[in-house]
Structure 1
């Protein structure tokens, strides 16, 4: 009788676990389906989050100097608009000029390409080849011509969709600015409510996790902006020295594409090589070497240093996290490696010091360095520090000073 009851209890537990797993799978499936359906609506909110992380530090600095938070956000927005306008006055005219030069030079590029093709045809006709090989080449040429016509029709048919996509992008950008304003204005209240949802027992840990994730993501975005800007400057200078056409356009493109690990620099190299190949094959090689060299310089010297300062990771941990992320998840792994490693390191330090009642971080440390609190910049949140102090729900307010 006891054995039968034990077997019954065991099977009951198995069924409970099985039904729980089935329920989780159903919830994940429904949630994923719903997320795919509402994904377009989330675009402005994702852009707004980027805006929030870029502006929260200057907003907090202005607020601590006595300005109301809404006014501080407005001033930061206005300063950003002025900066973009001034930068546009210096960047847009050369961009427009270089694009105009490319449009004017395109017929000449086409003429050179056509002349080169005729020369290749003449040299090919002088070579005696078997009839079957000649027929195969003719078939290949016919296939390529038909495919080119099909692509031309497709591109022409998508002009309207490109225009509508540009309108959608502008609308999402405007909506992101509005959403970002309201998030920045009520950031403290939003964080307090998120921490309170964790309940009294988990409130302290929720405060730590929220602060650490927020600090890391903000630092990562700022660091990535610095790295991309450094790449753009290096590529523009290098291409200008070698006389590659459209150096400014290609440099800005390389800086933007630098956000994409592996594929971004490769795409920039291909585009630069195509632009330079019409001038000289050697210039195309120089363009590729300039972009590859600039990428290596930023990866070796700029990225580890900048990211270590912004996300509080030692340069060796930055390099290791990039390699490990690449090995584990490829492109996505490299993209998420640094913020994930920084969050994991911060949580490890917090729980280690809390459970062992000992201090792991020091100001002279390497992998576990304690950042000095800066009362002016407010870059650090006490909730993210060592375990020597238990955080409270007030830490959600402290993070506003970032």
Structure 2
């Protein structure tokens, strides 16, 4: 096949894949989650195989333990998190009003706000915005807890996801072998090399970052709850869960925690400082211990590229798009670097063309 035919083939394949996502995005969630679980746990299955267990038994043990842990976490944590989240939303207007009363005297020292009648207008504006925020967040929570579960049926998730994960994890090596046999013979070596590079990026980011988020959720949740901060468990767990978005998780968590601490503990500077120190320690732990050791620097996914991928995936395909955003960003990143290398080595860039080999006499 010529280069033009290759490009047409892959363009058609990409267009077909995007159409598939658009048309079936409402039912793909349990399958994508099952695939993610299988990919995440494949190294564990390999370890158990090395210990002498057959693949089916190893898969049964792994999926069984995984499902048990998910059920326990759901029973123990979800009711508490929902209760704290709804309580936080109900008290959000009061927090905003108290923060306004706390911050306005500081602002008035540097800015003259008398001409704007700030005291009356800002309070009304803040009350209005707070009410709208609570209304919007309440509706969102209701959709997630109620309507969202009607769209993405929780029973379907609990049943189909483990089944998909079990079969994919059990047959993972066979699937890889089968796909490997479909590679074009002429370019098989290059495709395998690219696939290996993509796997390194995904393993480094997805598995590594998921572990980082889990550890940070436990750290922030336990530390903030132990400090006595209101809704500390919920704020901490949410902060850890969204830490895979560079800087966003830490900023949101710090602003929410310190804001609540100012309202709850003022003028106790020690307790407010403790909450601040918790986040400083968390950032040091993430930046200098967890990320370098669990994610590594070979991933090659720039934070801006990750954020763009998440926003683009969510905008195009909703929650399913968010789930596949980082893997797709990793694939596009690896292919982009490969294309750039090819370009730099080509005559189009101006690289010298090696002279033709002379026939040996």
* Aligned mate of 1:287, from 275, 285, 289: 275
Report the Cα offset of residue 272 of structure 1.
1.8
Of 27, 41, 45, which residue of structure 1 is paired with 2:27?
41
How many Å apart are 1:35 and its aligned residue? 3.2
Residue 74 of structure 1 pairs with residue 57 of structure 2: no
Q: 2:216 aligned to 215, 231, 234, which one?
A: 231
Q: Does 1:220 pair with 2:196? A: no
Residue by residue, what CA displacement relative to the aligned partner does 1:5-55 show, whole Å, maximum 9, x if unpaired? xxxxxxxxxxx98x9999988886676455333333332232122101222
Does residue 260 (structure 1) correspond to residue 260 (structure 2)? The answer is no
User: Which position in structure 2 is the counterpart of 1:59?
Assistant: 45
| Corresponding position of 1:331 | 307
Cα deviation, residue 294, structure 1: 0.9
Worse-matched range after superposition: 234-243 or 162-171: 234-243
**Partner SS state of residue 40, structure 1:** coil
Q: 1:237 to 1:338 in 2, by over 3 A?
A: farther
The structural deviation recorded for 1:83 is 3.9
Distance verdict in 2 for CA 1:245–1:59, change over 3 Å: same
Report deviation, 1:256. Answer: 0.9
Q: CA deviation at 1:157?
A: 6.0
Name the counterpart of 1:161. Answer: 143
Q: Is the 8 A contact 1:49 1:180 kept in 2?
A: yes
Q: Which residue of 2 aligns with 1:301?
A: 289
Q: Could you tell me whether the CA contact under 8 Å between 1:48 and 1:180 is conserved in 2?
A: yes
Q: Distance in 2 between matches of 1:200 and 1:119?
A: 70
Structure 1 301/102 Cα, relative in aligned 2: closer, same or farther at 3 Å? Answer: closer
Q: Is the 8 A contact 1:195 1:206 kept in 2?
A: no
| 3-state secondary structure, aligned to 1:201 | helix
Contact persistence 1:52–1:180 (CA under 8 A): yes
Structure-1 residue corresponding to 2:182: 197
Q: Distance in 1 between matches of 2:20 and 2:205?
A: 29
Hey, what's the Cα distance between the residues in 2 that align with 1:331 and 1:26?
Answer: 27
The CA RMSD over aligned residues, in Å, is 5.0
Structure 2, unpaired ranges of 5+: 105-112, 311-325, 343-361
User: Residue 192 and residue 307 in structure 1: after superposition, are their counterparts in 2 closer, same or farther (change >3 A)?
Assistant: same
CA displacement, residues 275-319 of structure 1 (integer Å, 9 cap, x when unaligned): 3233124445643442244123311232112223xxxxxx5x56x
- 8 Å contact from structure 1 (residues 230, 298) kept in 2: no
Residue aligned with 2:185, SS: coil
- TM-score, normalising length: structure 2: 0.63
User: Unaligned stretches of 5+ in structure 1?
Assistant: 1-15, 122-128, 309-314, 352-402
Does the Cα contact within 8 Å between 1:59 and 1:73 map onto a contact in 2?
yes
TM-score by length of 1: 0.57
